[in-house]
A and B are shown apart, each in its own frame.
Chain A
Amino acid sequence: MLTEKVVFITGSTRGIGLGIAKAFAKQGSTLICAGTTEEKAKDVAHQLAKEFSVPTLGIGFDVSNPQECQKAMDTLITQYGRLDILINNAGITKDNLMLRMSEEEWDLVLRTNLYSAFYLTKPALRQMLRQKYGRIINMASVVGILGNPGQANYVAAKAGLIGFTKSIAREYAQKGITCNAIAPGFIQTDMINALPKEYLDNIMPSIPIKRLGTIEEIADAAIFLASSPYITGQVLSVDGGMAI
């Protein structure tokens, strides 16, 4: 069902984004892999094309820059003539206690994790409206639901994405376009591996399933949401039961 769909995934050179890219590649989708550097994005796109025999394109750009987002979107629509699935996945952390958080830390995280979704979703919707088909999936987080000390910026961005998701879902519900969010819990990625072990030990009691999630478990959720024409405006928690 997802064969030959054109899928654009930001932050897909590693972590959850790369896992999602692989999952769509397995379905036979056409992939546009986006990362911060052109070289890395092209490298990943090339590898996926070789491994899964699907058309791929690698684009390097800064998701926090509106002009670069527009340009990336123009490039891919010119090349493929359509965009079926947009996955706003790119994200960073700049953790600090609120009392110590600089405006730069706040701004950078909001721009990269939330503003990027605005910059990319707008041109994507223009194309999807023409097609009368589209799937938008925003990568939120369990902390966007529960809150988390030391992450006021990240949590604000992720909670913002959840509200954004619900509004877009309502606006375009009658046009064949769905918009959903995935709220991963603690997943085995570089982002989580960067946390002190002690922190993870403290987290474990709050995960009912008592283990970290895998990248594949998040990718499965993305495939599921992309496959359904009747699920929209939802936040799918894939978090081992953290946000029950």
Chain B
Amino acid sequence: MSLSEQEIFEKVKQVIVKQLGVSQDEITKEASFTDDLGADSLDTVELVLALEEEFSTEISDSEAEKLTTVGKTVEYIQKNLK
């Protein structure tokens, strides 16, 4: 499966909308999950679980902790998607 950065961004957006209940246009690459999108720490854990499912991948605890913004998350998925 080879996805462009834009395609990944769109998929990530959909997962965020579903998990955090925010609207599409609030989701920019710069947006921080906790500061801008209103996620608490447990929400971010669930978001990572949902992303793992969406992209059929595994994200370790130490990597997951670094994924604080939408942009970082898209970048990580693009790099690590097989």
Q: Which residues in A have some Cβ–Cβ distance to B below 8 Å?
A: 126, 129-130, 171-172, 175
Residues of B within 8 A of A126 (CB): 49
Q: How far does the Cβ of A57 sit from chain B's closest Cβ, in whole Å? A: 23
Q: Which residues in B have some Cβ–Cβ distance to A below 8 Å?
A: 42, 45-46, 49, 53
- Check A130 against B42 for contact (C-beta < 8 Å): no
Residues of B within 8 A of A172 (CB): 42
- Check A129 against B45 for contact (C-beta < 8 Å): yes
Residues of A within 8 A of B45 (CB): 129
Complex alpha-carbon distance, A171 and B42, angstroms: 8
Additional pairs, 8, CB under 8 Å, beyond known A126-B49, A175-B42: A129-B45, A129-B46, A129-B49, A130-B49, A130-B53, A171-B42, A172-B42, A175-B46
Complex alpha-carbon distance, A72 and B17, angstroms: 34
* Minimal Cβ-Cβ distance residue in B for A126: B49
4 closest Cβ pairs, A-B complex: A129-B46, A130-B49, A129-B49, A126-B49
Q: What are 10 A-B pairs with beta-carbon distances under 8 A? A: A126-B49, A129-B45, A129-B46, A129-B49, A130-B49, A130-B53, A171-B42, A172-B42, A175-B42, A175-B46
Q: How far does the Cβ of B50 sit from chain A's closest Cβ, in whole Å? A: 8
